[in-house]
Structure 1
Amino acid sequence: MRKRGIPILVRLNAQEKQNLAKQVKKTGLSQEAFIRSLINGYVPKELPPPDYFTMMRELHAIGSNLNQITAKANATGHIDTTVFQYEANRLRKTVQDIIAAVTAPERRNDG
């Protein structure tokens, strides 16, 4: 592990401290890691939605199933349309769920 033994004191006003804390929280990084990323020329990305990894596993499973269907179709010259349609529908639904989770606007809680 690399040692970082050089402390640097940075003075912020209350607004700057609040902005820094807000940006750090969005990334899930420590404050130090966030600042080091910026110094090294990277802008840290926000954490993905909580169900991101579940959705990615689902996509990988669907892709694997479609690959198996394709391999069987190539080997036998016949495709099981029922299984293929099921996986195609599953893929379509998962993509819609991802779009909703990542790009759809969320209702504000003003109350």
Structure 2
Amino acid sequence: MRKRNIPILVRLNTKERQNLVKQVKKSGLSQETFIRTLINGFIPKELPPPDYYAMMRELRAIGVNLNQIAAKANAKGHIDRTQFQYEANRLRKAVLDIQAAVTSPERRNENGDHSDMGRNRPP
């Protein structure tokens, strides 16, 4: 049996429907997921730009390189482990920060004014 088995009919005018379709398309979510996200108190973010994925691949490649350097250095014993760990942690944090900034939904305002629907986010 489905987890979500309660259908709800919502009537919209043409302008509201166009706005919904536009926002759903920007988010890359299904219409149902988009609406459930809003109901649960979050504002879905727009899909990240195509270069986001290239940046993430590059950052991950740097991380892999750091790991390879660390393995070689540990075998030879010629690395400042504290400095390497510091840099590796900075890289991990940068990757997580980029992912969070671009893909994580934001909590809606608690004052009930949701008119901006996430359009006025800081960069």
Q: TM-score range by the shorter chain?
A: 0.5 to 0.7
> What residue identity is the alignment partner of 2:41?
G
Identity %: 80
Q: How many residues align?
A: 82
Q: TM-score, normalised by structure 2?
A: 0.53
CA RMSD of aligned residues (A): 2.7
Equivalent-residue separation in structure 1 for 2:70 and 2:4 (angstroms)? 52
Taking CA–CA contacts closer than 8 Å with sequence separation of 6 or more, which of the two structures ends up with the larger relative contact order? 2
Shift of 1:67: 3.6
Deviation at 1:51, TM superposition (A): 3.3
What is the one-letter code of the residue matched to 1:9? Answer: L
Instruction: Using the TM superposition, give the Cα deviation of residue 50 of structure 1 relative to its aligned residue in structure 2, in angstroms.
Output: 1.9
How far apart, in 1, do the equivalents of 2:7 and 2:67 lie? 53
- Separation in 2 of the partners of 1:78 and 1:40? 52
Q: Gaps spanning 5+ residues in structure 2: where?
A: 80-97, 103-123
Q: Which structure 1 residue ranges, 4+ long, deviate > 3 Å from structure 2?
A: 70-79
**TM-score relative to the length of structure 1:** 0.58
The one-character-per-residue Cα deviations of 1:44-96 (angstroms, maximum 9, x if unpaired) are: 111111232232122111122134335545654657xxxxxxxxxxxxxxxxx
Aligned to 2:9: 9
Q: 1:61 — aligned with what?
A: 61
Which is higher, the Rg of structure 1 or of structure 2?
A: 1
